Structure 1
């Protein structure tokens, strides 16, 4: 079995896995060209999951796969900012707030009540709640040290969230078309109801042109909810549990993901007219390719063993919360006139 040379420079160790993800992105683009209704996002995930189900990649390609699933997606999101103006971002963000706050409130309350009823451990139900209500694995990673979650609880929560990420990426475009939603409304729905950024991007890309920009803006605004939620959870922790977030207030800044800052800077640059038409074209192509490669990496990272180990209770809780969030988002959109 080939294994990466631990003495090789990091960039060299990343190359095989990134190349594999880019190759799979090329295949998914070809599938999307032949079957435009399918797009390139879903095939990229599906191919990755299928390969991981047969034999989960490791050794030589694993470092690059892990890099692709996280960093390539974040770079793609930054590039998407080049196609939006500050006025668009502020308008969409403000429009999404009622729906976003409704889904977050329902999700966190249901995680506490339903999780207790199902006898899911307190820390685990908190992780599943914030993962479903805010932004998947990123929220879990941010909140875990605040509540002193164990590595096992983190693994169970991430595995649970992953299942519904994949399901949402496939189901939401079908739901959107069944409801006759336009690109703008679907972007609001996907950004407020799908838990992980990668699945929001996949669903919006599959739905059709125009939905991606709206969905990403809504999702990034939603991601910022990590900060108040983490601070609120820190306030509930006993003083004797350790130094904690509140004793190191400078750490609050680290809760804001770097790609949100990069996305904002790109929006500002575009609003100021600093990005040429030629650069727009290059960034659009690069962003689409990086999204497909990142989704391929996420699919290849599927750990079916960890999902089985999570057991039925965390999975059931995650499923119930996902359905409640979707129903709440649709209800809020209906009340605000978003569903026409």
Structure 2
């Protein structure tokens, strides 16, 4: 990842926004640092429309540092541990991912929505919220406003899930195991999965947090095949001749490095003392990238065009929750 001196003012600005956003995100995990960062960036842009010397660095942060964050995310994924512990949840994970992608595609066609926003919302809802959007956005070449729109929709239903699902699970009589599966498969973002599971544990005196997190990490593995498929589709759109095909376009290098990081963690069984700082750095880089995206986003335009994406996010959210619960009932897990 190459940079130059012209990028530093913009990178520094994003860093300065990311530090307090990270702090507030740790205080309010149900909201999370990325949302605080993107909101701060959008508010700053209302008053400072011309970025001047910061422009290059803001663009660099929203593209390259976002990709670096995805690569570092791979160091938090021990593939053998995740698959061995999360295999029970695999049928439900596959069903909820398929449901979200199908529902988002149907709504995209019915409402004639923007294709990239629809893709990001479908993937963000089905896999792992902001991390999945961060991985998919460069592959489909989504612009900053499309990313901001998608992140905003995912955030809205993350908060709703974290607040509603513990009480809903109690009302439905879910077991601790059942709620761990429900939270891990039906809540979008890792921070909100953690918040929902922690709330459940507080109510029931249980320990579902670890189980919900493992299910969520298993779900995160879907980033790999999804981005590969998106890369192939994008490459076909852009190919110059009938016989040309670029592997690099079909499988962007940062996703390859993400897979490599996961393999290194798995093969060498890297300890938490090594992987934890890398995961934290990945999360911080995502916060920086969201600050950059916020700085490039017109919040007024975002609000005006937000009705259809919010509707799509709502239908995906409800559909995923319903499928997760129905499959648990069918499998006798509840």
Structure 1 gap segments, 5+ residues each: 1-8, 145-153, 192-199
TM-score (normalizing by structure 2) = 0.69
Name the structure 2 match of 1:134.
123
Query: How do 1:1-340 residues align onto structure 2 when only pairs under 5 Å count?
Result: 10-32=3-25, 38-56=31-49, 58-90=51-83, 92=86, 94-95=90-91, 96-112=93-109, 114-115=110-111, 120=112, 125-134=114-123, 159=145, 162-180=148-166, 185-191=182-188, 200=189, 215=216, 218-219=219-220, 221-222=222-223, 224-228=225-229, 247-248=243-244, 250-251=245-246, 254-273=249-268, 275-304=270-299, 307=302, 315-337=306-328, 340=334
CA distance in 2, matches of 1:97, 1:254: 26
Shift of 1:333: 1.0
CA distance in 1, matches of 2:279, 2:328: 32
Partner SS state of residue 247, structure 1 = coil
CA distance in 2, matches of 1:234, 1:290: 27
Contact 1:128–1:140 (CA<8 Å) still a contact in 2? no
CA distance in 2, matches of 1:88, 1:279: 16
The Cα offsets for residues 204-255 of structure 1, whole Å up to 9 and x where unpaired, read as 68767867775565355156335546767999x9xxxx9668632x335523
Contact 1:227–1:252 (CA<8 Å) still a contact in 2? no
The Cα offsets for residues 269-311 of structure 1, whole Å up to 9 and x where unpaired, read as 2222353554234324423332322222222221346547xx7
Relative to structure 1, the CA distance from residue 296 to residue 202 in structure 2 (aligned partners, 3 Å threshold; closer, same or farther) is farther
Shift of 1:100: 0.8
CA distance in 2, matches of 1:162, 1:303: 9
Contact 1:57–1:300 (CA<8 Å) still a contact in 2? no
CA distance in 2, matches of 1:332, 1:21: 39
Contact 2:42–2:297 (CA<8 Å) still a contact in 1? yes
Partner SS state of residue 322, structure 2 = helix
CA distance in 2, matches of 1:22, 1:324: 35
Shift of 1:175: 1.7
Contact 1:56–1:303 (CA<8 Å) still a contact in 2? no
CA distance in 1, matches of 2:42, 2:320: 28
CA distance in 1, matches of 2:271, 2:224: 29
Contact 2:30–2:195 (CA<8 Å) still a contact in 1? yes
Relative to structure 1, the CA distance from residue 213 to residue 243 in structure 2 (aligned partners, 3 Å threshold; closer, same or farther) is same
Relative to structure 1, the CA distance from residue 252 to residue 326 in structure 2 (aligned partners, 3 Å threshold; closer, same or farther) is farther
CA distance in 2, matches of 1:140, 1:271: 26
How many matched pairs? Answer: 295
TM-score (normalizing by structure 1) = 0.68
Contact 2:99–2:320 (CA<8 Å) still a contact in 1? yes
